[in-house]
Structure 1
């Protein structure tokens, strides 16, 4: 078992070096609602002050809003997800005022890494300038299986992944690795399109 884990870790490192984390190229159009898959429900703790020990479900946060979901396990992946934002600094993004929300899911590789991330909760809160973001930064490890990651095409732990999720928790677009100019532009074009779609469904 230990040998298999070590082999898997080395494979991730080599594949990351070869691809620079670009495991797939994002589609040029977003997925139709009737064909889209649901975003899995991750359960974990957030960095919201005073509530760090409470377990919350991501589905409860995603319902009813257009969400840009960023998933990473390491700093390399976090840097990837930052590249999808226009200014490269998501901590200063006033997402609530622009009609969508940012949801961060940190997937620690093991229990020791999870403890380390939780120890740095104050630092994470400091990087997220909007206090509302604190309750949407999840640290989730339990129940996150290889099968679940494969379902989301999250095949390398050093890569960062971005998912555009609609008001019904369906994945409408996905990307990974450093954003190309086209991918960055597509994300924000599709955010606006899903906002219009959601508004039309309420009429």
Structure 2
């Protein structure tokens, strides 16, 4: 079967989506750093959804990890997220049917199946040897609001009371730093990004830290559910209400989130409308850590000013 998949399918999907067994993730499509400087008044020009879907976010390389470590990482050069704002309500039968039979959904499903079938089980583990699993650098500034895309909907159980909830409701009317994690090391990845920001804005009424513990493996998800009490002791009680245990399948939106490695933690800055305005992955570099803190402050100031102007009217 793999022999049948190896050649004709690559031509059908185009070179950008080709994946070859045994090759390692190297980098995002090359993007220049924002040439307008690092000032917060200049914002990243995120590509529109049509442009972004025509690009491959991840490239494959047969180069060794040692060789890849000598090459500089590119900056994230376009917006992450989904083009359509997610809804907090469950999809109707008709909506589910239309989605499943759509050409876009079938092509995305086929692409995901091919990637899974042609990648080794330890692919992500070996990819960590290159830049610690980091495949792109976070931007120095915010992604423009007009070009930003939406953070997709995640569902799961809240750590505080095991109640079912979703990120659409959690993120509404808040400036949120989202930590997407699935292991202890990925938790440390996200913490390296958000800790200085949390230290500064933890008491701000319009700020929140949202942690999504994503376990796509059914067995691992079940094991995590057995140790919720231990998890509650490990996580600061202040964040129990915004800590989500999820088992959602994100295979079809991994590229949209820049989620290249299941062993890596990813951090997103999301505005009050649920749009991704900044993102980073793996362990934070000093400049990335500083950028998240500064960008969070900018969004909080804008949100406050907008609320004041609305109140006056």
Q: Same fold (TM over 0.5)?
A: yes
Is 2:150 the partner of 1:38? yes
**Distance in 2 of aligned mates of 1:185 and 1:94:** 12
The answer to whether the 8 A contact 1:154-1:161 is kept is yes
Q: Looking at both structures, which has the greater relative contact order when contacts are Cα pairs under 8 Å and sequence separation is at least 6?
A: 1
Residue matched to 2:230 = 123
Residue matched to 2:257 = 152
Runs of 4+ in 1 over 6 A off after TM superposition: none
Shift of 1:124: 2.0
Q: Show the 5 A alignment for 1:18-167.
A: 18-48=130-160, 51-52=161-162, 54-86=163-195, 96-99=202-205, 100-131=207-238, 133-142=239-248, 144-167=249-272
The answer to whether the 8 A contact 2:194-2:292 is kept is no
TM-score (norm 2): 0.58
The answer to whether the 8 A contact 1:128-1:134 is kept is yes
SS of residue matched to 1:97 = coil
**Structure 1 residues 8 and 198, CA, compared in 2 at 3 Å: closer, same or farther?**
farther
Give unmatched runs, 5+ long, in structure 1: none
**Structure 1 residues 200 and 177, CA, compared in 2 at 3 Å: closer, same or farther?**
same
SS of residue matched to 2:269 = strand
**Structure 1 residues 8 and 42, CA, compared in 2 at 3 Å: closer, same or farther?**
farther
**Distance in 2 of aligned mates of 1:83 and 1:96:** 16
